[in-house]
Amino acid sequence: MMSGLFSLDGQKALVTGANTGIGQAIAVALAGQGADVTCAGRRSCAETVALIGAAGGRASDLRLDFADPFAARDVFAGAEYSLLVNNVGIIRRADSVDFPEEDWDAVMDVNAKALFFTCQAFGRALIAQGGQGAIVNIASLLSFQGGIRVPSYTASKHAVAGLTKILANEWAPHGITVNAIAPGYIATNNTEALRDDPARSRAILERIPAGRWGAPEDIAGTAAYLCSPAARYVTGAILNVDGGWLAR
């Protein structure tokens, strides 16, 4: 029987940055497979919760501001979470010769430091409970490439790739898989500046073999897969979901 291969029935998930974009799409997808989803963000995730509820799923809204890297420190103890998706992220743009320290610190705190300490709190609680589970981190094409005018974002997303691998190594014996998704150019708030620049947008589209910007839903299915029993032997992987960008 293969019917349960992708089922998340009985699983409890936390999805960060779930108020919009990729995080919202992932939360909806996990709920669609049967997970009870906590939608976390510094802004209200009421819209996401409503979308899930309208489809017959279960979800709740949790306010967490990951500008504090320890925002999720007390979320997991005793709560029986088995799935974690670290999606929240910010970006700052400036030429590297002018890039300010405050922008460096803000991005690294949210994208790398908060991700690690959220994973730590989740892993600590799950290992103590003796349960199995899955972590999915949202990396980036800039986990592999340098990009332009986003030095702290590039550094942080390289860090996400490395943290995914070390946690996979350490937590595999506990039945916890740790993987990452590297989205290509997805139509979200973070890429609005690029899409609004005709020259940059055209150059990006010309390189994407699929010939289009990705949609948040293009990432959501991969996240649901990595959380599912179908991916129990997948760990330490960084899956490119990029319309073929890195193959070009």
Rounded CA separation 240/248 (Å): 13
DSSP state letter for 185: S
Domain assignment present for 88: yes
Residue 135 forms beta bridges with which residues? 84, 178
Q: Are 70 and 118 in contact (CB under 8 A)?
A: no
Note the pLDDT of residue 2: 42
Q: Is 153 a catalytic residue?
A: yes
Q: Which two tokens stand for residue 128?
A: 């103590």
Which residues of the chain, if any, have pLDDT below 70?
A: 1-3
Domain assignment present for 248: no
Selected catalytic residue, list 153, 185, 225, 233: 153
End-to-end alpha carbon distance in the chain: 38
Rounded CA separation 228/11 (Å): 10
Which helix H or strand E contains 128, and what residues bound it?
helix 114-129
Task: Find the CATH number of the domain harbouring 41.
Answer: 3.40.50.720
Place of tokens 């709190």: 121
Domain assignment present for 191: yes
Domain assignment present for 245: no
Q: Which two tokens stand for residue 157?
A: 């997303």
Rounded CA separation 159/165 (Å): 10
For residue 148, CA distances in Å to 89, 136, 214 come to 18, 26, 20
The structure's pTM equals: 0.96
Number of domains in the chain: 1
Domain assignment present for 1: no
User: Where does residue 18 rank: exposed (0-12), middle (13-18), buried (19+ CB within 10 A)?
Assistant: buried
Domain assignment present for 7: no
> In the sheet that 83-86 helps form, which strands lie side by side, from edge to edge?
58-63, 36-41, 12-16, 83-86, 133-138, 176-183, 238-241
For residue 89, CA distances in Å to 18, 34, 52 come to 11, 26, 22
Note the pLDDT of residue 190: 75
Domain assignment present for 4: no
Rounded CA separation 122/190 (Å): 26
Q: 102: which residues sit within 8 A by CB, 6+ positions away?
A: none
DSSP state letter for 97: G
Q: Which domain holds residue 50?
A: 12-240
Place of tokens 């993987």: 179
